């Protein structure tokens, strides 16, 4: 599968960058009260008002990629700042792999090949996926983001509540028939704890933008830290195949990360 080769860019879907894609107009914005209430309960379970005080995030841990149907493990360092800056560095036997995201720009330096840019069509959930409460906080505070409650569903073996999210338009992009669902995704919350368990969406990757892929992020092993509840394990799947899994062992907040850390290097 082509995505197995290209989506080692996998961490370009890490989670505080929020590019806005053209799928809806102001007249179609929905703010379903039941969905808003569920998001508020989830944010409260994650730490409530303290979430909005987080300026930057630093974490270390281990990562296991699935490359050529083989597990490849190494160490990982993750940095994020605000809602638009992210950096991930992993060290595996083949070398160092590095992803840098700044606003709408991203570059990936794979451990096994040459540096590449990440297309904007693959950037819907880019940023720090290790801190999903920041996404929930932004959805609640941004009235131009549509949220709709889809009801209770069984997802990934758990009883969950599903919410559909649609981001506001990006004037740089024109949605066409090949991009149905661009800028839309589903969130799945545990029916008892209200913790965010996962995200699903369709993304477009590589040079053939006629083809989309099912993309999933799974969040687990929530632990208390600094008055918040944070997932220490994050797993990604593409078309139901696991591409990587991160297990964090340390997390720090508000350490004063510099913007220079997140500047993509020229190809």
pLDDT score for 125: 59
Tens digit of each residue's pLDDT, the chain (267 residues) = 444 444 444 444 444 333 444 444 445 899 999 999 999 999 999 999 999 999 999 999 999 999 888 999 999 999 998 877 889 899 999 899 988 877 767 777 888 776 665 555 555 555 556 788 988 998 999 999 999 999 999 999 999 999 999 887 666 555 555 666 667 889 999 999 999 999 998 776 655 667 777 889 999 999 999 999 999 999 989 888 998 999 999 999 999 999 999 887 665
- Contact of 59 with 78, CB cutoff 8 Å: yes
Kind plus residue range of the DSSP H or E element containing 60: strand 56-67
Give the residue extent of every domain in the chain.
2-249
Instruction: Name the β-bridge partners of 236.
Output: 217, 244
pLDDT score for 168: 79
Q: Which long-range contacts (CB under 8 A, 24 or more apart) does 198-202 make?
A: 198/155, 198/156, 198/160, 199/125, 199/132, 201/124, 201/125
Sign of CA dihedral 18, 24, 29, 32: negative
Cα–Cα nearest to 193, from 166, 223, 215: 223
pLDDT score for 149: 98
pLDDT score for 171: 62
pLDDT score for 158: 95
What is 2-249's CATH number, 3.30.365.10, 3.40.50.720, 2.50.20.10, 2.60.120.1270?
A: 2.50.20.10
Q: Phi/psi at 194 (nearest 5 deg)? A: 65, 10
User: Would you mind telling me the total number of residues written for the chain in this entry?
Assistant: 267
Kind plus residue range of the DSSP H or E element containing 43: helix 33-46
């Amino acid at each position: 599968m082509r995505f197995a080769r290209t989506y080692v860019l996998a961490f370009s879907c890490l989670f505080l960058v929020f590019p806005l894609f053209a799928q809806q107009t102001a007249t179609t914005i929905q703010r379903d009260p039941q969905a808003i209430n569920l998001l508020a309960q989830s944010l409260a379970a994650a730490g409530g008002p303290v979430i909005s005080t987080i300026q930057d995030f630093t974490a270390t841990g281990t990562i296991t990629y699935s490359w050529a149907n083989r597990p490849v493990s190494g160490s990982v360092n993750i940095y994020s700042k605000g809602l638009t800056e992210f950096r991930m560095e992993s060290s595996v036997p083949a070398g160092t792999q590095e992803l840098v995201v700044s606003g709408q720009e991203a570059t990936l330096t794979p451990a096994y090949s040459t540096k590449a840019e990440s297309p904007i069509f693959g950037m819907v959930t880019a940023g720090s996926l290790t801190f999903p409460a920041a996404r929930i906080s932004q959805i609640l505070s941004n009235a131009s983001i549509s949220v709709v409650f889809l009801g209770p569903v069984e997802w990934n073996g758990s009883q969950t509540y599903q919410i559909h999210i649609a981001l506001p338009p990006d004037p740089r992009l024109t949605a066409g028939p090949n991009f149905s669902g661009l800028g839309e995704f589903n969130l799945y919350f545990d029916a008892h704890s209200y913790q965010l368990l996962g995200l699903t969406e369709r993304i477009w990757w590589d040079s053939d933008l006629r083809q989309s892929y099912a993309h999933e992020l799974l969040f687990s092993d929530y632990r208390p830290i600094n008055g918040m509840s944070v997932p220490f394990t994050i797993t990604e799947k593409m078309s139901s195949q696991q591409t990587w899994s991160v297990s964090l062992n340390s997390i720090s907040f508000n350490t004063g990360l510099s913007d220079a850390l997140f500047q993509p290097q020229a190809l």
